[in-house]
Amino acid sequence: MRRGRTVNGEDRSRITTTTLRHYDAHAEAFWAGTRDHDVSQNIEALLGAIEAEPPFTLLDLGCGPGRDLKAFNERGHVAIGLDGAPRFCEMARAYSGCEVWQQDFLALELPAERFDGIYANASLFHAPLSELPRVLAELRAALKPRGVLFSSNPRGQDEAGWVQGRYGVFHAPESWLAHVRAAGFELIDAYYRPPGLPRERQPWFASVWRKAGA
């Protein structure tokens, strides 16, 4: 992998097509490997930061087969999933019983000020660095005033490239914080995962943000 760089239109198309094709081809194996992951810390971090009265309207960005989408639904919230992989969308609808939108992260069509919270668990790192400001701006516009964005990404030293058929940007924590602040968000909390382990065994960096200036 190499440091994050600007990508052109051809690169963007290949990143999207190849990454989504990988997830489609390995959807069942991905589900078997992730369905029992305990991400309750992340779910509670998002829900606990929202100031509105429940039930909340939530977007699960990169919902995959619907594990966390179902958890939001079972808590009584209005949860909508979004994923670019057709097979994941089918699985998420069947598993969660929720509405699921099939959209590419690099071609989002989101309603303005619709959501109290957006949950991006292990998803935004797929956005190329040159596209990230636009994607974050689109997420910000989709949040209600003082809405909350949660993100969790595998951390690194700002490398970008292909890993097992998927494109990703492995942000250093300080770099990620700077990117999201620049997009008009205020930091609420940040932490490493899984909890209770030495830092070298915590490959995930999670952060919780409030839409600023609204």
Q: Does domain 2-211 have CATH number 3.40.50.150?
A: yes
- Dump pLDDT digits (tens) for 143-183: 999 999 999 999 999 999 999 999 999 999 999 999 999 99
Confidence of residue 127 (pLDDT cuts 50, 70, 90): very high
Residue 18 has a pLDDT of: 95
Q: Distance from CA of residue 182 to its chain's centroid?
A: 18
Residue 11 has a pLDDT of: 85
User: 66: closest CA among 46, 87, 89?
Assistant: 89
Percent of the chain at pLDDT > 90 equals 93
* Mean pLDDT value across residues 107-132: 97
- Residue 2: pLDDT over 90: no
* Mean pLDDT value across residues 124-138: 97
Distance in angstroms (rounded) separating the CA atoms of residues 201 and 93: 34
Residue 121 has a pLDDT of: 98
Distance in angstroms (rounded) separating the CA atoms of residues 131 and 82: 18
User: 31: closest CA among 104, 75, 101, 94?
Assistant: 94
* Mean pLDDT value across residues 62-80: 98
Tokens matching residue 100 = 């699921």
- Residue 10: pLDDT over 90: no
CB-based contact 198:155 (threshold 8 Å): no
Residues 6+ apart with CB under 8 A from 74: none
- Share the mean pLDDT of the chain: 95
Considering only residues 111 and 214, tell me which one the structure prediction assigns the higher pLDDT. Answer: 111
- Residue 4: pLDDT over 60: no
Distinct helix (H) and strand (E) counts, the chain: 7, 10
CB-based contact 95:126 (threshold 8 Å): no
Residue 213 has a pLDDT of: 85
Residue 49 has a pLDDT of: 98
- Residue 6: pLDDT over 60: no
The model's pTM is 0.95
* Mean pLDDT value across residues 65-80: 98
Distance in angstroms (rounded) separating the CA atoms of residues 168 and 158: 10
